[in-house]
Amino acid sequence: METYRPRMNWGKFATRFLQYFILSVIVVLVLVPIVILIFGALKTRGELLSHPYALPIPPRWENIVAILSKASYSFWPMLRNSLVVMVAVTFGVVILCSLAAFVFARMDFRGKGLAFNLFTLGLMFPINVAILPVYFVLRQMHLIDSLWGVILVQTAFQISGNIMILRGFFTAIPSELQDAAYIDGCTAFDFFWRILLPLARPALSAVAALTMIMSWNDLLVPLIVLNKDKYWTLPLGTMQFQGQYGTDLSLVSAFVALSALPTIIFYLFAERQIVSGLTAGAVKG
Amino acid sequence: MQSLPAIPDIFKLKRGSGSPQRFQDRLTIFLFLLPAIILFLLFVIYPIFQSIYYSLFNWKGFGPATDFVGLSNFKNILSDKVFMIAIRNGLFIIAFSLCLQLPLSMLLAVLVGRNMPGRVFFRSIFFLPYVLSEVISALMWLFILNPDPERGFINALLILIPGVKAQAWLGNTSLVMPAIFAALTWKYFGYHMLLFMTGLQNIPAEIEEAARMDGANVFQNFFFITLPLLGGTIRTSVYLSVLGSIQQFILVWIMTKGGPVNASETMATYMYRFGFVRFQLGYGSAVAIYMFLFCLMFSLIYQRLTRQPDYLTGL
C-alpha cells in the first residue's frame, strides 16, 4: 500500500504535466497570429522590413497615432458607425426577441406551433446563404447606403436563434409565479414587464452580449449595403484599408490591431455572458 | 346572494372566452409577436421567394426581369466546373472539420477537464479567435501565410527545417484549401471546445468515478463512458459544423477571393461572384436556391437520422 501511493502520485503528476504541455502548445499556436499582428503594429515600416520577427522594443506608436489622428484614415467615423449599428441592433434584438419568446414560452393560442416553426426555419437559412435575395429586397426598399438597411437585416437574422435561447430561459421560470400574478390581477403584460424580465436578466444580458459581438464583427451585410465610405463600419473599413494600404504592412497591422481592440476588451468583460448565451443556444435549442 | 366559487374557478372564469382578460391576452399575443414576425417575414422569408422568382430569369439587375429562361440557370450551374469545385471544397471543409477539428476540440475539452487549475485561462485563450471578427482573422492569416519568409511567419519557421522551401500557401492550387482549413480551425475550434466542455460538465462525475473504481483505465473510461454520454453535444457540434462549412464566405473571400484559378471557391464565394461582381442576378439567385436546398436537405435528413429534435425543435 505504501509503495502504491507514491507511484500513483507520480502517474498523476506525469498526466498533469502532459496535459499542461499539450494545452500550452495549443495556446502558443492560437496566439501566434495575434502576437505577430501586434508586433507588426508596434514597429515602423523600416523595422518591420529589416527585423520582421524581432520583439518591438522599444515599441513605436507612430502608426497607431497616425491612424487615430489622421482624418483620411477615418478610423473614428467607422467606429461611430459600428457603434450606432451595434447599439440599435442590440436593442432591437433584445426587445423583439423577449416579446416573442414570452408569447412562445408562456401563452397559448391557436397556430402557436406553426408560428414557432416559422421562426425555426430561420435557423436553417444563415445570412451568408440569403445575402443575395436580401439585397434585392433592400434595393426595392431603397435601403442601400443607409445604416438602417444594415440594422434591419442584422436584426432580422438574429431573431430566430435568440427567440430559441430566450424561450428556453423563460420556460424555466416557474409557472406558479404566473398563476399567482394573474390571480392578483396582473395582465399578461404586467407579468412580463414586472416579473419575468427582471428574473431573466442574466439571459437578456447573454443575448445582448452575443448580439453585440455578432453585429460588431459582421462584414457581409455592410459590404453589400454600404457603398459610400462615410457609412462604412469598422470591419468593412478594415477590409478596404488593407486593400488601399496593403503594401505598408505595419500601418495595416496597426489598423487591424486597433479594430480588434474593442472586441478584445469587450470579451474580457463579458466572457461569461457570451459563453452562457452560446452554450444555451446550442444545447437547449 | 351568490355563493363564492373556488379560486381556480375565478381564475378560469376571468380568462374564459369573451371575457375582457381573454381579449387582453389575445391583444398581447398579437402585439408581442407582430414586430418580430414582420421583420422576419420581410427580410428572411420574402427574399427566398423573390430569389425563386428571379432564378427563372436571365436578369442583370436593371429594370424588370423579362428574359424568362425557365430552369436553365439551374442546369447551367450544375454543368459549371467551377461550381463543382465549390461543392468539392465544401465537402473538403466538412470532412476535415468532422475528422480533425471536432476530435481536436473534444480532446482539448477532455484535457481541460472539470476542475483543473487554469481551466478558465485556457478556455479564454482558446475561445478568443471565435470572438475576433472574420475580417481580422482573415487578415492575420493572410499576413502569416505570406509566401516571402521575410514577411510570412509560417514560411520563416518552415525554412528553418533543412531541405524545406518556402511555400506560396495561398497561391498554390493544392495548398490553398489546407491553408484555409488551418485558418478555419484556428477560428472555430474554440467554439466546439466550449460546447464539449459544457457537455462534459453535464456528465455526473460519479459515473466516471465508479467506472474507475471498477478498474476502467483512462481510455476505456473515455470510449465507453464519456463519449456515449456526449452524444447530444456531438450531434449539435456536427450539425453546426456542417451548416457552417456550407456557407463559408468572408474568410475565403478576403484570403484568396476564391483563387488561384478558382481552387478555393466555395458556394458562397461563387454566389457572391455572380451576384455582386458580375451582376448576373438571376444566375446568382439560382445558386442561392441550391444553397438553401442543401441546408434544408441536410437539416431534415440529419433530424431524421439522429431522431434528435434538439437544435431545430418545434413545440
Could you list the residue range(s) of the whole structural domain that residue A12 is in?
4-64
Are A132 and A202 in the same domain?
yes
Mean pLDDT of A245-259: 89
Percent with pLDDT over 90 in chain A: 44
Are A170 and A207 in the same domain?
yes
Nearest CB to B126 within list A26, A188, A264: A26
Domains of chain B: 72-306 (1.10.3720.10)
State the pLDDT at residue B13.
Answer: 44
Neighbouring CB atoms inside 10 A of B69's CB total 18
C-alpha cell at B212: 474507475
State the pLDDT at residue B307.
Answer: 64
Among candidate residues A14, A48, A64, the one where a domain is terminated: A64
Among candidate residues A17, A35, A64, the one where a domain is terminated: A64
Question: What's the rounded Cα separation, in Å, for the pair A84 and A233?
Answer: 9
Three-class SS of residue B57?
strand
CATH classification at residue A186: 1.10.3720.10
Nearest CB to A239 within list B254, B284, B311: B254
Mean pLDDT of A82-97: 96
Question: What's the rounded Cα separation, in Å, for the pair B11 and B5?
Answer: 10
Are A154 and A35 in the same domain?
no
**Cis, peptide link before residue A33, omega less than 30° from 0:** no
Are A134 and A184 in the same domain?
yes
Give the gap in angstroms from C-alpha A87 to the nearest C-alpha of chain B. Answer: 17
Are A126 and A10 in the same domain?
no
Are A140 and A210 in the same domain?
yes
Which chain A residues are within 8 Å of B134, Cβ to Cβ? 217, 219, 235
What stretches in chain B show pLDDT beneath 70? 1-18, 307-315
State the pLDDT at residue B18.
Answer: 64
State the pLDDT at residue B287.
Answer: 93
Does the CB of A73 have a partner CB in chain B at under 8 Å? Answer: no
Please provide residue A82's backbone torsions phi and psi, each rounded to the nearest 5 degrees: -60, -40
Is B226 within 8 Å of B110 (Cβ atoms)?
Answer: yes
Three-class SS of residue B68?
strand
Each as own residue / partner, the long-range contacts of residues A196-203 (CB below 8 Å, 24 or more positions apart, any chain) are: A196/A102, A196/A106, A196/A170, A197/A98, A199/A173, A200/A98, A200/A166, A200/A169, A200/A170, A200/A173, A202/A169, A202/A273, A202/A276, A203/A165, A203/A166, A203/A169, A203/A170, A203/A280
Are A126 and A261 in the same domain?
yes
B183 burial via Cβ count (<10 Å: 0-12, 13-18, 19+): buried
B309 burial via Cβ count (<10 Å: 0-12, 13-18, 19+): exposed
State the pLDDT at residue A95.
Answer: 95
Does the CB of A193 have a partner CB in chain B at under 8 Å? Answer: no
Are A141 and A52 in the same domain?
no
Best of A22, A109, A125 to disrupt the B interface by mutation (most B CBs within 10 Å)? A125
Give the gap in angstroms from C-alpha A79 to the nearest C-alpha of chain B. Answer: 14
Each residue's pLDDT tens digit, A35-61: 999 998 888 888 888 877 878 888 888
Residue type, A94: V
State the pLDDT at residue B114.
Answer: 73
Which chain A residues are within 8 Å of B312, Cβ to Cβ? 120, 123-124, 285
Q: Which of residues 154-173 of B touch A (CB under 8 A)?
A: 156
Are A253 and A223 in the same domain?
yes
CA B312 to chain centre: 14
Nearest CB to B43 within list A53, A156, A213: A156
Question: What's the rounded Cα separation, in Å, for the pair B104 and B186?
Answer: 11
* Greatest distance between any 2 Cα atoms in chain A: 81
For residue B307, what is the enclosing H or E element? Answer: none
Are A77 and A25 in the same domain?
no
Give the number of domains in chain A. Answer: 2
Instruction: Please tell me the pTM assigned to this model.
Output: 0.88
Does the CB of A240 have a partner CB in chain B at under 8 Å? Answer: no
Question: What's the rounded Cα separation, in Å, for the pair A9 and A27?
Answer: 26
Is B101 within 8 Å of A232 (Cβ atoms)?
Answer: no
Each residue's pLDDT tens digit, B19-65: 777 788 888 888 999 999 999 999 999 988 888 998 998 888 777 77
Each residue's pLDDT tens digit, A156-211: 999 998 998 899 888 888 888 888 888 888 888 888 888 889 998 989 999 999 99
Are A144 and A215 in the same domain?
yes
Nearest CB to A30 within list B116, B125, B191: B125
Q: Which of residues 210-249 of B touch A (CB under 8 A)?
A: 232-233, 236-237, 240, 243, 246-249
A118 to B112: CB separation less than 8 angstroms, yes or no = no
Are A17 and A90 in the same domain?
no
Residue of A nearest to B38 (CA): A156
Does the CB of A224 have a partner CB in chain B at under 8 Å? Answer: yes
Nearest CB to B135 within list A32, A117, A235: A235
Nearest CB to A129 within list B139, B292, B313: B292
State the pLDDT at residue B10.
Answer: 45
Is A25 within 8 Å of A238 (Cβ atoms)?
Answer: no
State the pLDDT at residue A49.
Answer: 80
Among candidate residues A43, A64, A85, the one where a domain is terminated: A64
State the pLDDT at residue B42.
Answer: 93
State the pLDDT at residue B204.
Answer: 83
Query: How high does pLDDT run on average in chain A?
Result: 87
